[in-house]
Amino acid sequence: MRRKNKFGSIIFMLILIAGIAGAVFVSFSPMFESVVPKISMKNSGFWNFKEPLHVSISDTSGIKSYKVTLLSKDEKIVLNQEELSIPENDISFNIEAPKHIISFKPDKVTIVIEANDASKWNFLSGNVAQEKFVLKVDTKKPHLNVLTNSMYIHKGGSGIVIFKADDPNLSEVYIDVNHNKRFKPQPFYKDGYYISLVAWKITQPSFRAQIVAKDKAGNVRKSTIAFRLKNRKYRLSKIKISDRFLNGKIAELAETFDIAQQTEDKIEQFKIINEDIREKNEDLIHKTTSVVSDDKVDSFAIKPFYPLKNSKKVASFGDHRYYYYKGKKLSESYHLGLDLASVKMGTIKTQNPATVVFADFNGLYGNMPVLDHGLGLYTIYGHCSSLNVQSGDMLNAGEQIASTGMSGYAMGDHLHFGVLVQGIEVRPEEWMDRKWIKLNITNTIKDAKKIIDRQ
């Protein structure tokens, strides 16, 4: 009896150890993992039946089989089904809408995705996952209608457009132009209408602007704005760099900028200042003036700018400047503002209400306030001797902004007046011309409002 008992408990112990070992093996082995496959499908909650839906499934023990079913109000269609002879850890595929459902167009569909993994869990049958995605069906492109736009746009100049964009699931509206720039329209006057200034960048030989409207289902409508293009020639000027200039202004500027001190060579210092530092200063200007509000615009009563009274023009917008030293070309740049001079420390005023968005030293531009006039229109005032405003100030028309000077890269007391549309420098002359503003901006807005009120 005793022996038999001892023998029995050894057997029992062995079974117990085997059992524990088995349990340990099952719980640690990927062959017996108990996690269901992970199913995901890229979607916006909408489907236009055109873009395929992208599905991915992953599992540590591998996917053995999967099935995708489409359910609509009165149909059940298997879109995709597969048994994998060799289980895979990650699979992804696209599913397309069946042809007949495209013409049938239900309001919504449910995509059911089921997947079974290769685990030995659940008495060898593996783990099963199921995900359901309810998608609203929208196969209609947004509706786009240009109401009015300024008739002409000049190279280096500005234009305006007012349009209607309609879609129950509208997600994005913008204006694309050929020079890799996207303009952001603002809601205008009444629901569904938009307004935007656009600019033809001076460095671009041609111009094309297209409104793009997208909905949440991925339907896209594009509409080209029928601007008449006016080419414009800008001056090419050859500027001789003198030793006096290198030892004077350039030496003085080089002391201001750390990066210009990496070399003793005056010519190299000039290139660093005219290229690297200029680029950095212009980046700041472009960034500051690219901001457009999401607020609804009711009017845009802009008045001609005339920042410096009794001034005369000393340099034009758009001059393409080539710099030579002893007959050798050193560098080039575009002059993207209008230089005005009157008396020393002349009073600079704004003729339009504005919010000051920057008022500080900006390298070659010296002391420089930046004013936001709304609708993506900004003005900048370079080389000031002193500033009367600070960032955040709200200005009324007629207020003094600063006094002219020669801070930064300036050889004499003057104002560098720049106008920007959503971060693009444009011809200030247009925004200083009462007739141009009336014809291109004010009347275009007035005409659009008349059309909207009739609709």
Binding-site size for Zn ion (CB under 5 A) equals 3
Distance in Å, CB of 303 to Zn ion, minimum: 23
> Of the two residues 214 and 335, which places its CB atom closer to Zn ion in the complex?
335
User: How far apart are the C-alpha atoms of 349 and 237, rounded to whole Å?
Assistant: 30
> Of the two residues 288 and 404, which places its CB atom closer to Zn ion in the complex?
404
With contacts defined by CB under 5 A, name the span among 99-107, 343-351, 409-417, 426-434 that binds Zn ion: 409-417
Q: Which of residues 102-121 bind Zn ion (CB under 5 A)?
A: none
Distance in Å, CB of 422 to Zn ion, minimum: 21
58, 37 in Cβ contact below 8 A? yes
> Of the two residues 159 and 428, which places its CB atom closer to Zn ion in the complex?
428
Token duo for residue 59: 């599992």
User: How far apart are the C-alpha atoms of 194 and 449, rounded to whole Å?
Assistant: 11
Distance in Å, CB of 159 to Zn ion, minimum: 24
39, 131 in Cβ contact below 8 A? yes
> Of the two residues 339 and 425, which places its CB atom closer to Zn ion in the complex?
339
Q: Which helix H or strand E contains 5, and what residues bound it?
A: helix 2-28
Distance in Å, CB of 313 to Zn ion, minimum: 11
> Of the two residues 282 and 339, which places its CB atom closer to Zn ion in the complex?
339
Distance in Å, CB of 334 to Zn ion, minimum: 11
User: How far apart are the C-alpha atoms of 84 and 286, rounded to whole Å?
Assistant: 55
Longest CA–CA separation in the chain, Å:
125
Distance in Å, CB of 282 to Zn ion, minimum: 12
Residue 425 touching Zn ion (CB under 5 A): no
Distance in Å, CB of 362 to Zn ion, minimum: 13
Nearest to 213 by CA among 266, 270, 181, 174: 174
Distance in Å, CB of 337 to Zn ion, minimum: 5
User: How far apart are the C-alpha atoms of 375 and 397, rounded to whole Å?
Assistant: 17
User: How far apart are the C-alpha atoms of 288 and 356, rounded to whole Å?
Assistant: 11
Residue 157's SS3 state is coil
DSSP tag of 310:
T
Residue from 339, 372, 429, 430 in contact with Zn ion (CB under 5 A): 339
> Of the two residues 174 and 306, which places its CB atom closer to Zn ion in the complex?
306
With contacts defined by CB under 5 A, name the span among 13-21, 203-211, 260-268, 412-420 that binds Zn ion: 412-420
151, 186 in Cβ contact below 8 A? no
With contacts defined by CB under 5 A, name the span among 34-42, 93-101, 122-130, 411-419 that binds Zn ion: 411-419
User: Quick one: how far is CA 415 from the chain centroid?
Assistant: 31
Residue 449 touching Zn ion (CB under 5 A): no
Residue from 373, 416, 427, 449 in contact with Zn ion (CB under 5 A): 416
Q: In 178-216, where do the E strands start and end?
A: 181-183, 186-187, 193-199, 209-215
Which residues contact Zn ion by CB under 5 A?
337, 339, 416
